[in-house]
Amino acid sequence: MFAACADPKAIEGLTWAMCYLTSAKHVDFYWSFVTVLALLAITAPAALAMGFMGATAARSHIAPLRWLGKVYIWMVRGVPDIIFFLFFVIALDQGIEYVKSLAVCPGGEWPWQGLEFRVCADAKVPLGNSPPIWHQLYGFLLAVITFAIVFGAFVANVIYGAMNAVPRAQLETAEAYGMSRAQVFRRILVPQMWIYALPGLGNLWMILIKATPLLFLLGVKDIVYYARELGGSKTQAYEYPHGDWRLWYFLGLMVFYLVFTRVSEIGIGKLTRRLSHGQATAGGEALRKAAA
């Protein structure tokens, strides 16, 4: 990267450290933090949307829709989530390729043959000859969908509880004013439920942060992948030979997560305060008294 780094074997001390930390592989490592943040930025709203739909479905007056919502909420209870992660990534991949094979493959064979999953070359996603970046992106996309499905179920559970926590009297008053079911839902229920949902959602956000290293298991080149790659001992054949430094890399990741969760905790605390304004809860009452 820098001119001084042209011959890493000749330099030492601080210059060596600087060159080492700005090597191409390290830049990839720093970018993988962006991957993690991108996953969070995409997954959080997606899971919120999934959860909102799940909770709304679970409250529905149409029985099949209600069952669907309840099954979705109950799905992730009692089963370790990592199983869902490992399962969905393959299942989604095969499902997508199977659907595509129906459209593009001649014949239309059942793809699960004995010990193989076989679809014609045209049905592969992404196609076998596409550049590696597409494979990376596709893997990331599968991971995002998997996270959204699993976390959506947890969000649905929280929102379902929050919707039930909104005082009945509020909804009845709205009905007495002649609002329709949709209007009560939109104008009264949804705006008021957030304060009840916030503790649960905040908790889920922390859990989501702590779930991001699982990207590694889903085959995405994330921070865990690079920490293992870069930290492993390098012989003289490498530009920057060093011993086994994985401990230090993982220590770095640990600090990253600790700072991240701590900052989130403070942020959630502030948000709770803001949302408590004017609410008929203990928190809202405390704020009112403090102001008076």
Give the C-alpha separation, 140 to 221, whole Å: 9
Query: What DSSP string describes 77-95?
Result: TTS-HHHHHHHHHHHHHHH
Which residue in 60, 183, 261, 279 binds other proteins (CB under 8 A)?
A: 261
Tell me the two tokens of residue 245: 């430094």
Which C-beta is closer to other proteins: that of 131 or that of 243? 243
To the nearest whole angstrom, how small is the minimum distance from the Cβ of residue 51 to other proteins? 11
Question: Is residue 165 a contact residue for other proteins (CB under 8 A)?
Answer: no
Applying CB under 8 A, the span of 5-13, 15-23, 148-156, 270-278 interacting with other proteins comes to: 148-156
Tell me the two tokens of residue 292: 């008076």
Give the C-alpha separation, 94 to 86, whole Å: 13
Which residue in 1, 17, 41, 90 binds other proteins (CB under 8 A)?
A: 90
First to last CA, the chain: 60
Question: Is residue 253 a contact residue for other proteins (CB under 8 A)?
Answer: yes
Using alpha carbons, select from 15, 4, 14, 23 the residue that is nearest to residue 230.
Answer: 23
Question: Is residue 184 a contact residue for other proteins (CB under 8 A)?
Answer: no
> What is the Cα 207 distance to its own chain's centre?
10
Question: Is residue 46 a contact residue for other proteins (CB under 8 A)?
Answer: no
Q: How many CB atoms lie within 10 A of CB 284?
A: 16
Question: Which residues here bind other proteins, judged by CB under 8 A?
Answer: 76-83, 86-87, 90-91, 94, 112, 115-117, 150-151, 154, 157, 203, 207, 209-214, 216-217, 224, 227-228, 231, 244, 246-247, 250-251, 253-254, 257-258, 261-262
